[in-house]
Structures are given as structure tokens and as C-alpha cells.
Amino acid sequence: MNALRVINLVEALPKDQTTSQVIGKQLLRSGTSVGANYRAASRAKSTAELITKLNITLEEADESLYWKSLIVKAKLVDSKLLQNLMQEANEIVSMLVSSLKTLRSKPKDSRISNPN
């Protein structure tokens, strides 16, 4: 799960640097909210609501990717350690973009079937 890996990454950041603390807090917030927002999206009652919630999820996933890139560029962690995590984040962003494109092509008044 990406959120647990984000938590582990933040815990591995240097503790003695203000930069690490600030970026770590931002990444922790955005990186752990992706799963929570996706879970909320899975309970959407309409296509419009699902699109809104997935857009929030996409924003958080993209922000999380930004903070990971900044960690690499600032050399706070070896880039090789973040390679898989960043690839996974890119895949999540791509899947969300694809899902949103599909949903936007549906009629506006359509309801979604949600087993939850």
C-alpha cells in the first residue's frame, strides 16, 4: 500500500533538517490522503459525485508525487530508494486520469451502481 510506504519514507528522512521536516509533513498529508479520498470516492452516489471525489484524489496523488520529486532533487534520500514509490505514484495518477476521462464521457444524469 502506497500510504504505508509514504509513512516509512517520511520516517526515514533526516531528523535534523528543517527542510526534511517541512517537506515530510506535506508528503505525509498528501500521500496518506490518496487512499482515504479514493475510499470516499468508492462510496459516491452519482457519476458527478464520483468525478468530484476522484479529482480530489488525483490532486493529492499529484501533490504527493511533487513532494517525492523534491525530496530526490534536494538529495534528502537516495533517488534509487524512491524509484519504485515514484513509479507507483505515477501509475496511480495515470489510472485516475484515465478513469476520469471515461467518467466524463458518460451522460451527466447517469447513476452509478455501488455495492457499498
- Enter the DSSP assignment of 106: S
Does residue 85 sit within a domain? yes
Provide Rg for the chain, Cα atoms: 16
> How far is residue 82's CA from residue 51's CA, in Å, rounded to a whole number?
30
* Closest by Cα among 35, 69, 66, 72 to 53: 35
At residue 50, does pLDDT exceed 90? yes
| pLDDT grade for 37, boundaries at 50, 70 and 90 | very high
What are the tens digits of pLDDT across the range 57-92? 999 999 999 999 999 999 999 999 899 999 999 999
pLDDT value, residue 95:
97
In terms of residue numbers, what domain contains 92? 2-11+18-104
Q: What is the pTM of this model?
A: 0.86
83 is a domain residue: yes
Residue 111 lies in a domain: no
Q: Could you tell me the CATH number of the domain that includes residue 96? A: 1.20.1440.60
Please indicate, yes or no, if residue 116 is contained in any of the structural domains: no
Across all residues in the chain, what is the average pLDDT? 91
Longest CA–CA span in the chain (Å) reads 53
Number of domains, the chain: 1
112 in a domain, yes or no? no
CB within 8 A of 98, min separation 6: which ones?
none
